[in-house]
Amino acid sequence: MFKLNKKDLRTLIIVILLALFAPFLLNPFPTDSALAQFNAGYPDLMQRFVIFGIFAVGFNILFGLTGYLSFGHAAFLGAGSYAAIWMMKLLTMNIIPAIIISVIVAGIFSLFVGWISLRRSGIYFSILTLAFSMMSYQLAYSVLTPITGGETGLQPKVNDPRLLDGALAEGAIPKANLFGLDMSQSYDMSLGAWSFTFNSGYYIAAAFLILSFYLSIRIFRSPFGMMLRAVKSNQQRMTYTGLDPKPYTLAAFVISGMYAGLAGGLLVAMDTQAGAERMFWTASGEVVLMTILGGVGTLIGPVLGSGAIKYMENIISKINSDILHTWFAFLPDGLENVIVAIIYPFIGKGWHLTLGLLFMIVVIALPGGLVEGAQRLSRLFKKGKNKSNENE
Amino acid sequence: MTKSNFTRRGVLRTGAVAGAGLSLPTIFTSSASAFTNEPQGGSVTLGFNVPQSGPYADEGADELRAYELAVEHLNGGGDGGMMNTFSSKALRGNGILGKKVEYVTGDTQTKSDAARASAKSMIEKDGAVMITGGSSSGVAVAVQALCQEAGVIFMAGLTHSNDTTGKDKRANGFRHFFNSYMSGAALAPVLANAYGTDRNAYHLTADYNWGYTTEEAVKDSTEALGWNTVAAVKTPLTQTDFSSYIAPVLQSGADTLVLNHYGGNMVNSLTNAVQFGLRDKVVNNKDFQIIVPLYSRLMARGAGANVKGIFGSTNWHWSLQDEGSKAFVRSFGTKYGFPPSQAAHTCYVQTLLYADAVERAGSFNPCAVVEALEGYEFDGLGNGKTLYRAEDHQCFKDVLVVKGKENPTSEFDLLEIVEVTPVEQVTYDPNHPQFQGGSLGSCNPGA
Amino acid sequence: MDSIILQILNGLDKGSAYALIALGLTLIFGTLGVVNFAHGALFMIGAFCAVTLNRILTLSHQVIDNTRTDFLGNPLKVDIPYIYDFFGENIGRAIIDWSVPLSILFAIPIMIAIGVIMERGLIRHFYHRPHADQILVTFGLAIVLQEVIKFYYGANPIPSPAPEAFKGSFDFGALVGFDPNTIIYPYWRLVYFCFSLIVIGAIFAFLQFTTFGMVVRAGMADRETVGLLGIDIDRRFTIMFGIAAAVTGLAGVMYVPINPPNYHMGMDFLVLSFVVVVVGGMGSLSGAVLAGFMLGILESFASMREVIDLLPGINQIIIYLVAIIILLTRPRGLMGRRGVMED
């Protein structure tokens, strides 16, 4: 089906199911329980999961297949965001033109950067891409302020022109929509003690993720994908057989740049704001880390990696000492304070520490990233059932 | 479940699904309430969104201390702090409208995106009805726009750029902190008094929005008193070593250096300027002087002895002797062991003001709160008589001009108040050119 | 003319910091081939060695001064460092005043130890792993080190002044015949410049003129063959790692009087140090030093008012722009070796 082999189809179906049932899967704890702190099933974070998933999936097409490590992909995400927000300011709050233009702008920008950077390979390539993205950040934050909003970024305002939209009703606020369907519109469902949120913006973003993921599988399995792998394993040999690797790598670069632009456009569509920080080198580094953390060159790894990092950033950082005390309130006072004092450095404002430790543990214990962890788990299960056909 | 299997487990599973189906009537949608996150039950949740990582983490930590103190006081704990000196007596120490105040915290990382993600999680997941905090104008503007969209109130923390209540103002957002214009207007007369009216000033300006508005404000007010601006050079935000910007200052014939920098930029540029011995120089027969338009205690700590004798402005300082400030310093100092910073003060006051507005309005509805805060005049919160102006949601109050202290007694005792500039002198027209280009819109209750 | 000399001086001074950091990085990255994202953290830890020594020297007991009051109206508690008790107030004050230079002695053993532990405990297992894994593990390590420092010292910069004798600046212009006040230069920056020249010289001499250095250089060029000759190259690489950490740490120690250190200063320098090393060319020590000074000087020129007026924003991007131009015109940076990190 869909021109996929059985194994890829299975992966795709898993991704589709995960995306569809994310509101359930991410809210496993009853709303009023102490563990509800770990629930991640609210619209903003679900949206960020899939958007950064798209970003990482696209990045993996370049890095996972060709081995070219770009340290400047955040620039394309940023360029896509700015393009999208300007569409919303000038044309319409409908997200379709915004997303289309963000992909196009990011594509053109990545064509330019890729065309220049791909003249070099290895670390020299990485530094070239890094330099381009840092230049974009520095200029967007300062001298380009009239276009980018600089420090304060851009948000849609009531008095923007918006040629295609009719005038806003008195007191109305411009909201991103898909032909009238508001991105922030949600439907809450309570099942006993549990509550689940179904958000329109999330499902639109998730549809894009599924589409992007499907496309990425097709690229991985296509002859084009084989060429890209050839670039990674032995570029010299490829040249000797009379093939020029450059067009292939450039194509991969532009495709992954367009994925980044799509992610940027979606970020704006879900949360109407664009700022220069999106292009800072740490943002480029983040997608590199997401991909490596999940598993370079695997299909689903980048999605897992981006989920893990965004979860840390948004959930662990919100646990404060107050919450810790309520969790351990059942313990005797002295013991409670000791335990809180031990855990406290790792949560709340110390969430970076936990993130750093996670990076180190994963790379030391699971050399193939989170995907390898999942594979080991499934192998463990399978061992119990049937030891025979196992060829992972 | 395509093929039916009538095993015992299968039946049980079907039963469970049916049971879940039966409980469907409890489904509700968000449109059931009159406004976003209408507090249900006996408590109300506020969202404290402060930088907990990154360069402003210590400032964020101080803000968070102030918020915790405010919550304690609102719920009737502690000594009540400024609630006793506040001119409005609507708060009675029984929470807000009888509901116990609870709070959630988040990390802005001093990045607009992270701040909005954190604020959104507070609104969407924790049901926060008000968001407050922040330590930069970029974050304040971004979160303010978000709160306007989501239909909750935003009480800005530390944000000094004119834009927050100028071109980027929003109906659901309120700022107690002062701004660039007020800094300039308060500083200029004091500077003219201390250093004369024929100075040649050289500006180094952080190359982003806040820097631009501050440079403009200080330039305008000092030039109006006769100063001449020799040059204004923009420096990148990411700059760490300012030597190549500071070295040419003396060549230009300037006798005064204005550092429109904040945070780490300011600490480094001031340190570098003192390193270059600028303050020992005599130019045009005048002692060379350095000015820092916006001071904060944390920055003063970072710059250490270099701040001695340097003028700047601040929103509030713990050495103020009015009853409100004394009460606040007492309860903060007793709880944490050191005096509060201006960031802590503005956050504490913002929380009380919000709670008070809700009490007076009798509702958590953002539109009712906006109405209660607009044009509201109060006293007893540390800055004297203060007005929340209806046109731009900016507080108008006295501004402090301070100077680095020569002989500090502790690491917190770094600034001394030179003058309390009366509010009339820093008030401006809502359509002042430095504030043009925005519109409040109307309040949004969401839902 | 005078403003050009001024900016060359500033550039040399900035460049000496860049060169020192890049020198440490190029020993680890350009030669051992480890993509060390924790390099900035080593610089930061060096700086905090100075802060720590200062804290140790100023360990105090409190004396209550009844004549003054603190902010709550209680009698003021005054901190008296123990060192005053041991050596008397004057000598104690002098020792604290000189704490930054003293930190050099304190930092060398600590930084070497950190480098060796890092190599033995962690990096050694990653020599044969993909660069991606090296990035993840060293970035994780950098975050952890940074957070540990933040936990103990807070996020705020910590003022750490130079000794009283090196405060202020001297008039370099007047010395060589320009008008007074046109070319001024702080004493401590001159100290930093000289210090970096000494360290760079020492490292080059060590690698060039000692047997140890010769073996290491041979190992960099062809690790396998050197191993086949029966030389324990791994142990020497461990020592090199320690030395690299010490060089970077010393760059941090001496930097604190220039700018007050904070816990994320390492990240501020991380990207820059990679750019310097790569522009200098992978595997070339002299390339890294040359690129450090060159970028420092160009950055200083780009921050001149006349240049910014001509090209707004040039001061924001100069480093990256130069990096792009150099890498496009010279495929392996200024002096890079063929085949190092090109795949």
| pLDDT, mean over chain B | 89
CB-nearest to A350 from C135, C147, C275 is C147
B78 with B98, same domain: the answer is: yes
Q: Is A119 on the interface with C (CB under 8 A)?
A: yes
| pLDDT, mean over chain A | 90
Number of domains comprising chain A: 1
Any idea which of A307-316, B370-379, C10-19, C229-238 has the lowest mean pLDDT? C229-238
| Residue of chain C with shortest Cα separation from B236 | C316
Q: Is B207 on the interface with A (CB under 8 A)?
A: yes
Q: Is the pLDDT at B28 greater than 90, yes or no? A: no
Handedness of CA A290, C46, C239, A353 (dihedral sign): negative
Q: Is-contact B426 B187, C-beta < 8 A?
A: no
Residue B125's nearest CA partner among B105, B149, B141, B98 is B105
B287 with B198, same domain: the answer is: yes
- Identify the band that residue B412 occupies on the pLDDT scale cut at 50, 70 and 90: confident
pLDDT digits (tens, 9 = 90+) for A100-152: 999 999 999 999 999 999 999 888 999 999 999 999 999 999 999 999 988 88
Q: Is B236 on the interface with C (CB under 8 A)?
A: yes
Q: What percent of chain C has pLDDT over 90?
A: 56
Q: Is the pLDDT at B21 greater than 50, yes or no? A: no
Q: Is-contact A154 A274, C-beta < 8 A?
A: yes
Residue C132's nearest CA partner among C37, C225, C51 is C37
Q: Is the pLDDT at C330 greater than 60, yes or no? A: yes
pLDDT digits (tens, 9 = 90+) for B180-191: 999 999 999 999
B403: which 2 tokens?
């100077």
Q: What percent of chain A has pLDDT over 70?
A: 97
Residue C84 is assigned to a structural domain of this protein: no
Q: How far apart are CA B242 and CA A358, in angstroms?
A: 37
Chain A residue numbers with beta carbons less than 8 Å from the beta carbon of B59 are none
Q: How far apart are CA A105 and CA A112, in angstroms?
A: 11
B171 with B188, same domain: the answer is: no
Chain C residue numbers with beta carbons less than 8 Å from the beta carbon of B57 are 150, 154-155
Q: How far apart are CA C68 and CA A33, in angstroms?
A: 52
Query: If contacts are CB pairs under 8 Å, which of residues 236-265 in chain C contact chain B?
Result: 257-260, 262, 264-265
Chain C residue numbers with beta carbons less than 8 Å from the beta carbon of A355 are 140, 143
B71 with B51, same domain: the answer is: yes
Residue A107 is assigned to a structural domain of this protein: yes
Q: How far apart are CA A25 and CA C149, in angstroms?
A: 37
Residue B374 is assigned to a structural domain of this protein: yes
Residue C341 is assigned to a structural domain of this protein: no
Query: In A271-349, where does DSSP find H-type helix?
Result: 281-294, 301-314, 321-327, 333-343
Q: What are phi and psi of B257, to 5 degrees?
A: -115, 125
pLDDT at position B10 is 40
| Residue of chain C with shortest Cα separation from B52 | C155
Cβ contact (<8 Å) for A131 and C136? Answer: no
Residue B170 is assigned to a structural domain of this protein: yes
- The chains in contact with chain C, meaning 3 or more Cβ pairs closer than 8 Å, are A, B
Q: Is the pLDDT at B29 greater than 50, yes or no? A: no
pLDDT digits (tens, 9 = 90+) for C49-82: 999 999 999 998 888 888 888 888 788 888 888 8
Q: How far apart are CA A155 and CA B131, in angstroms?
A: 18
Q: Is-contact C274 A71, C-beta < 8 A?
A: no
Cβ contact (<8 Å) for C312 and A359? Answer: no
Bridge partners, residue B258, by sequence: B203, B291
CB-nearest to B20 from A150, A191, A317 is A191
Residue A208's nearest CA partner among A371, A95, A67, A325 is A95
Query: If contacts are CB pairs under 8 Å, which of residues 133-172 in chain C contact chain B?
Result: 150, 154-159, 161, 167-169
- Domain with A155 in it: 6-24+39-280
A98: which 2 tokens?
């915004």
Instruction: Specify the residue for token string 């840390």.
Output: A312
Number of domains comprising chain B: 2
Cβ contact (<8 Å) for A142 and B207? Answer: yes
pLDDT at position A388 is 44
Chain B closest-CA separation from residue A145 CA (Å): 8
Q: What percent of chain A has pLDDT over 90?
A: 60
pLDDT digits (tens, 9 = 90+) for C76-114: 888 888 888 888 888 988 999 999 999 999 999 999 999
Q: Is the pLDDT at C254 greater than 90, yes or no? A: yes
Q: How far apart are CA A202 and CA A44, in angstroms?
A: 8
Cβ contact (<8 Å) for A150 and B209? Answer: yes
Q: Is the pLDDT at B297 greater than 60, yes or no? A: yes
B303 with B325, same domain: the answer is: no
B288: which 2 tokens?
């060379």
pLDDT at position B341 is 94
Query: Count of CB contacts below 8 A, A vs B?
Result: 147
Query: If contacts are CB pairs under 8 Å, which of residues 160-179 in chain A contact chain C?
Result: none
Q: Is the pLDDT at B144 greater than 90, yes or no? A: yes
Cβ contact (<8 Å) for B57 and C155? Answer: yes
Q: How does DSSP classify residue C336?
A: P
Residue C311 is assigned to a structural domain of this protein: yes
Query: Count of CB contacts below 8 A, A vs C?
Result: 129
Q: How far apart are CA A143 and CA A132, in angstroms?
A: 16
- Identify the band that residue A385 occupies on the pLDDT scale cut at 50, 70 and 90: low
Higher pLDDT, A382 or B137: B137
| Residue of chain B with shortest Cα separation from C15 | B241
Answer with the one of B366, B391, B416 that is the final residue of a domain: B391
A256: which 2 tokens?
């992954």
CB-nearest to A345 from C151, C275, C282 is C151
Q: Is B233 on the interface with A (CB under 8 A)?
A: no
- Domain with C244 in it: 2-46+98-329
Q: Is the pLDDT at A322 greater than 50, yes or no? A: yes
Residue B159's nearest CA partner among B107, B86, B207, B209 is B209
What would the 3-class secondary structure string for chain B be? CCCCCCCHHHHHHHHHHHHHHHCHHHCCCHHHCCCCCCCCCCEEEEEEEECCCCCCHHHHHHHHHHHHHHHHHHCCCCCCHHHHCCCCCCCCCCCECCEEEEEEEEECCCCHHHHHHHHHHHHHCCCCCEEEECCCHHHHHHHHHHHHHHCCEEEECCCCCHHHHCCCCCCCEEECCCCHHHHHHHHHHHHHHHHCCCCEEEEEEECCHHHHHHHHHHHHHHHHCCCEEEEEEEECCCCCCCHHHHHHHHHHCCCEEEEECCHHHHHHHHHHHHHCCHHHCEECCEECEEEEEECCHHHHHHHHHHHECCEEEECCCCCCCCHHHHHHHHHHHHHHCCCCCHHHHHHHHHHHHHHHHHHHHCCCCHHHHHHHHCCEEECCCCCCCEEECCCCCEEECCEEEEEECCCCCCCCCCEEEEEEECHHHHCCCCCCHHHCCCCCCCCCCCC
Output the CA–CA distances (angstroms, integers) from residue B325 to A229, B69, B155, B320, B337, in the order listed: 68, 14, 20, 6, 16
B386 with B369, same domain: the answer is: yes
Cβ contact (<8 Å) for B27 and A141? Answer: no
Residue A98 is assigned to a structural domain of this protein: yes
pLDDT at position A33 is 83
pLDDT digits (tens, 9 = 90+) for A150-188: 888 999 988 888 888 877 777 778 889 999 888 888 888
Residue A59 is assigned to a structural domain of this protein: yes
Q: How far apart are CA B442 and CA B424, in angstroms?
A: 28
Bridge partners, residue B283, by sequence: B286
Answer with the one of B259, B286, B314 that is the final residue of a domain: B314
| Residue of chain C with shortest Cα separation from B288 | C181
Residue A389 is assigned to a structural domain of this protein: no
| Residue of chain B with shortest Cα separation from A318 | B106
Cβ contact (<8 Å) for B244 and C181? Answer: no
* Residue B433: alpha-carbon gap to chain centroid: 23
pLDDT digits (tens, 9 = 90+) for B313-370: 999 999 999 999 999 999 999 999 999 999 999 999 999 999 999 999 999 999 999 9
Q: What percent of chain B has pLDDT over 90?
A: 78
| Residue of chain C with shortest Cα separation from B302 | C157
B273 with B377, same domain: the answer is: no
* Residue C143: alpha-carbon gap to chain centroid: 18
Q: What value does the mean pLDDT take over residues B153-171?
A: 94
Higher pLDDT, C220 or B326: B326
B347 with B261, same domain: the answer is: no
Residue B104 is assigned to a structural domain of this protein: yes
Handedness of CA C228, C229, C230, C234 (dihedral sign): negative
Model-level pTM? 0.92
Residue B127 neighbours by CB distance under 10 Å: 19
Q: How far apart are CA C153 and CA C256, in angstroms?
A: 15
- Domain with B168 in it: 43-178+319-391
B149 with B225, same domain: the answer is: no
Question: Is B12 exposed, middle or buried, given 0-12, 13-18 or 19+ CB atoms closer than 10 A?
Answer: exposed
Q: What are phi and psi of B420, to 5 degrees?
A: -100, 105
Q: What is the CA radius of gyration of chain A?
A: 22
Handedness of CA A215, A217, A223, A228 (dihedral sign): positive
Helix (H) or strand (E) holding A182: strand A181-182
Residue A107's nearest CA partner among A250, A313, A279 is A250
Q: C35, C147, C156: which to substitute to probe chain A, counting the most A Cβ within 10 Å?
A: C147
pLDDT at position C79 is 85
B251 with B224, same domain: the answer is: yes
Any idea which of B13-27, B126-140, C295-309 has the lowest mean pLDDT? B13-27
Output the CA–CA distances (angstroms, integers) from residue B383 to B159, B314, B399, C247, C283, in the order listed: 17, 11, 8, 51, 61
Instruction: Specify the residue for token string 């760490």.
Output: B240
Number of domains comprising chain C: 1
Q: Is B107 on the interface with A (CB under 8 A)?
A: yes
Chain A residue numbers with beta carbons less than 8 Å from the beta carbon of C343 are 67, 121-122, 235
Q: What value does the mean pLDDT take over residues B109-119?
A: 93
Write the CB contacts of A186 (distance below 8 Å, at least 6 apart in sequence).
A43, A197, A198, A199, A200, B30, B124
The answer for C297, left when phi > 0, alpha when psi is -120 to 50, beta otherwise, is: alpha
Q: Interhelix angle for A122-141 vs A95-117, to 10°?
A: 130
Q: Is the pLDDT at B15 greater than 70, yes or no? A: no
pLDDT digits (tens, 9 = 90+) for C107-148: 999 999 999 999 999 998 998 888 888 989 999 999 999 999
pLDDT at position A384 is 63
Q: Is B339 on the interface with C (CB under 8 A)?
A: yes
- Identify the band that residue C15 occupies on the pLDDT scale cut at 50, 70 and 90: very high
Q: Is-contact A72 A130, C-beta < 8 A?
A: yes
Residue A300 neighbours by CB distance under 10 Å: 23
